[in-house]
Structure 1
Amino acid sequence: MEKLLFLLLPVPFAVGLLSPGAAVAPIPGDPVFAFTDPQIAESSGLVAGDGVVVTVNDSGDSNRIFTVDTSTGDTVGITRWQGEARDHEALAPAGEGEVWVGDIGDNAASRDHVSVARVPYGRGDKTVTAPTYELVYPDGPHDAETLLSDPATGRLYVVAKEFIGRLYAAPAKLDPDRPNRLEPVGEVLGIATDGAFFPDGKHVVLRNYGQAVVYTWPGLDRVARFDLPAQRQGEGIAVAADGEVLLSSEGEGAEVLSVALPLPEATPSEGASEGAAEPAPATDDDPAAQLVWWPWAAAAGAAAVVALLAWVGIARRRS
């Protein structure tokens, strides 16, 4: 009985955390290419460039990023830089021909700081000296897999990968000589594995393993939610200059998919800060308006079973 209880205890939490949420069919995904390089086995971050994407493997790899031709899936460039990697988990645009690489993973929540590096990408192999900056949370360590870069200001943001996601802002100007303190901004999608700004700078999309949510920026009003197409372990998301949304997955030879995430109209709210916006009006056809009940019903049922078995076990021991 005790063994069965032990096995069932995580069930309600896993159901609540990992279920996609919206009771609608996943949006379709069209394959663009598959990674042909066996060195890309755990694509965790994704940035879209001109005819290429940039990706990075997560924990266990060295300080390197891959530039991949979107017409073939072939690696056309690898950039390496100084230092040792801890747990690369995210990329974000950093200007023409450069990306921010987020060494921000912390599964054990034990790191006293995380870091970001500004690294050039492109065709051809190169080794560079990349400016690197330490980041510290104001409330203790967090695991994170999402790094965002505001296209209007260049400011960096980190999303903690937790049941209730928390968005943190880096200082507007990073100091290379001392830790840069992150500041809390707001609550967002839970268990986020990646995110990106849209080209308009007025919307941002976050994803987890099965769902994507679009928010207004900087208001962080949720305007749409979508179930994503099934992937082996979908983690990456990027938005190209033309608005195309790309999804990547871990696994050797993984496909990169193109999906359509239409942006609902959003209107300014009364008294809101400049640039903030309200969610689009809810309609029966809007996935964001669907009542998300089944994951929590399943979790409640699993929790009830666990409680019942626990009660039976206690009763037997007392008898």
Structure 2
Amino acid sequence: MILRGVVVVVAVLGAVGAPGVAVAAEGGAQRVCKVGDKRLTELSGLAATGDGYVVVNDGSDEASHRKIFFLDRKCKVARTVSYPSRPRDTEDLGVAADGTLWVGDIGDNDQSRDTIGLWRLALGAKTPQLYRLAYPDGPHNAETLLLTRAGTPIVVTKSVGAAGLYEPAGALQAGKTTALRQVGSVTVPLTGTSNPFGLPGRLVITGGAVSPDGTHAVLRTYADAFEYAVTGDDLVHAITEGTPTQIAMPDEPQGESVAYTADGTALLTVSEESDGKPAVIQRYALAGRPAITSPPAASPTAAGPSASSAASPPAKPKAQTVANDSGVPTGLIVTGGFLILAAAILGAVLLRRRR
């Protein structure tokens, strides 16, 4: 009876959608190209370059899958880069303002890792450098890596409800473990977008990206993307305090990645291989978004946060708020929130890897 009551409340609130959040995609998903390479079956990270795409699989048992793959515009593998040691669970990647590629080795389904890793591949480099980091409050599972224009990496946890935002507390150093500090938290709005995991698929963050000019950032769930406007490279403030714009991404097989196109006019996604069918990169046009021709220059970057960022004191966690203009009584939303979390816990097993 309790579970049935939870489902009823969830159904009511799910039908309401995300109050105060606009939808800003033009025409839904458009197919870009099919990823036919048999090594690319568990795609979890995606980034766009001037001549194609970069992708990574999540933690795979096959050595041939544990590489950084560079694709051409037709989704054919143009080259690969190997890791000098075995990664644990690569879940996301991003391209910094100076062209440096960062891969987030941050997955931890069992929440048992003492450290997570960031792999840094500089322009022209043949081998990525590993930097280890540790959470201040115990292990977390995460699938989202964001990069500020100044070069600071931000990890967003895959937590039900409020997800934590963490950044390095000091400069990254090869061969040493750098402490992370929590700088905020975010809860994405609840929507009714259809996805293979139902309610739990709408409550956890599975990927993110920053636009080439740094003026926007996006977080995604298995169902939707939520875009935030960024002012002055203050990515944390934009996510924790801003009201996002929703871009529905219904019924992607297992959508865990999101990226901006090289000109910033659209979002790109790719799912893991589903039912033996190759993954497909999809494009969601952003309404009224002008093309980026010459992104503004970023501050000098290093292998870690800027000096000013490292010296600033830890910020208190902040939860994102979304205006309630849906007409639903606030008491129902609050009560329903607790029930939604209960339902999410009961359904969390659905979010385990199929492997």
The answer, yes or no, to whether TM exceeds 0.5 is yes
Question: Is the 8 Å Cα contact of residues 26 and 229 (structure 1) preserved in structure 2?
Answer: no
For residues 56-104 of structure 1, what are the alpha-carbon distances to aligned partners after superposition, in whole Å with 9 as ceiling and x for unaligned?
Answer: 011125441111112x221111111211121111111145554111110
Deviation at 1:144, TM superposition (A): 0.2
For residues 29-51 of structure 1, what are the alpha-carbon distances to aligned partners after superposition, in whole Å with 9 as ceiling and x for unaligned?
Answer: 11111101111001100010012
**How many Å separate the matches in 1 of 2:180 and 2:339?**
36
Range with greater deviation from structure 2 (133-142 or 214-223): 214-223
Q: In structure 1, what is the equivalent of residue 158 of structure 2?
A: 161
Question: Is the 8 Å Cα contact of residues 35 and 73 (structure 1) preserved in structure 2?
Answer: yes
**How many Å separate the matches in 2 of 1:47 and 1:289?**
35
Which amino acid in structure 2 is aligned with residue 182 of structure 1?
L
**How many Å separate the matches in 2 of 1:117 and 1:171?**
17
Q: In structure 2, what is the equivalent of residue 185 of structure 1?
A: 183
1:66 counterpart = 2:91 = no
Question: Is the 8 Å Cα contact of residues 102 and 119 (structure 2) preserved in structure 1?
Answer: yes
Q: 1:48 to 1:121 in 2, by over 3 A?
A: farther
Secondary structure, aligned partner of 2:156: strand
**How many Å separate the matches in 2 of 1:245 and 1:97?**
19
Deviation at 1:179, TM superposition (A): 1.1
> How high is the sequence identity, in percent, across the aligned residues?
36
Which amino acid in structure 1 is aligned with residue 34 of structure 2?
A
**How many Å separate the matches in 2 of 1:161 and 1:302?**
14
1:247 counterpart = 2:247 = no
Which amino acid in structure 2 is aligned with residue 201 of structure 1?
G
Q: In structure 1, what is the equivalent of residue 36 of structure 2?
A: 36
Q: 1:194 to 1:291 in 2, by over 3 A?
A: farther
1:45 counterpart = 2:45 = yes
Deviation at 1:249, TM superposition (A): 0.6
TM-score relative to the length of structure 1: 0.72
Deviation at 1:211, TM superposition (A): 1.2
**How many Å separate the matches in 2 of 1:302 and 1:114?**
27
Q: 1:300 to 1:176 in 2, by over 3 A?
A: closer
Q: In structure 2, what is the equivalent of residue 22 of structure 1?
A: 18
194, 198, 214: which one aligns with 2:207: 194
Which amino acid in structure 1 is aligned with residue 154 of structure 2?
Y
For residues 121-159 of structure 1, what are the alpha-carbon distances to aligned partners after superposition, in whole Å with 9 as ceiling and x for unaligned?
Answer: 89xxxx943211001111111000001111x20110000
Question: Is the 8 Å Cα contact of residues 82 and 128 (structure 1) preserved in structure 2?
Answer: no
**How many Å separate the matches in 2 of 1:45 and 1:301?**
28
Range with greater deviation from structure 2 (98-107 or 25-34): 25-34
Deviation at 1:262, TM superposition (A): 4.2
**How many Å separate the matches in 1 of 2:325 and 2:33?**
33
Secondary structure, aligned partner of 1:40: coil
Q: In structure 2, what is the equivalent of residue 208 of structure 1?
A: 221
Q: 1:129 to 1:300 in 2, by over 3 A?
A: closer
**How many Å separate the matches in 2 of 1:22 and 1:162?**
19
Q: In structure 2, what is the equivalent of residue 109 of structure 1?
A: 111
Residue correspondence of structure 1 range 255-274 to structure 2 within 5 A: 255-262=280-287
The higher radius of gyration belongs to 1
Q: In structure 2, what is the equivalent of residue 237 of structure 1?
A: 258
**How many Å separate the matches in 2 of 1:148 and 1:29?**
23
Provide runs of 4+ in structure 1 moved above 3 Å: 19-27, 94-98, 261-264, 288-294, 296-304
Which amino acid in structure 2 is aligned with residue 91 of structure 1?
L
Secondary structure, aligned partner of 2:56: strand
**How many Å separate the matches in 2 of 1:153 and 1:53?**
23
Instruction: Give ranges in structure 1 of 5+ residues lacking alignment.
Output: 265-278, 283-287, 305-319
Secondary structure, aligned partner of 1:82: coil
Question: Is the 8 Å Cα contact of residues 170 and 180 (structure 1) preserved in structure 2?
Answer: yes
Q: In structure 2, what is the equivalent of residue 173 of structure 1?
A: 171
**How many Å separate the matches in 2 of 1:300 and 1:26?**
29
Which amino acid in structure 2 is aligned with residue 68 of structure 1?
L
**How many Å separate the matches in 2 of 1:200 and 1:290?**
33
Question: Is the 8 Å Cα contact of residues 67 and 121 (structure 1) preserved in structure 2?
Answer: no
Question: Is the 8 Å Cα contact of residues 77 and 121 (structure 1) preserved in structure 2?
Answer: no
Range with greater deviation from structure 2 (180-189 or 89-98): 89-98
**How many Å separate the matches in 2 of 1:65 and 1:114?**
18
TM-score relative to the length of structure 2: 0.66
Secondary structure, aligned partner of 1:166: strand
Q: In structure 2, what is the equivalent of residue 273 of structure 1?
A: none
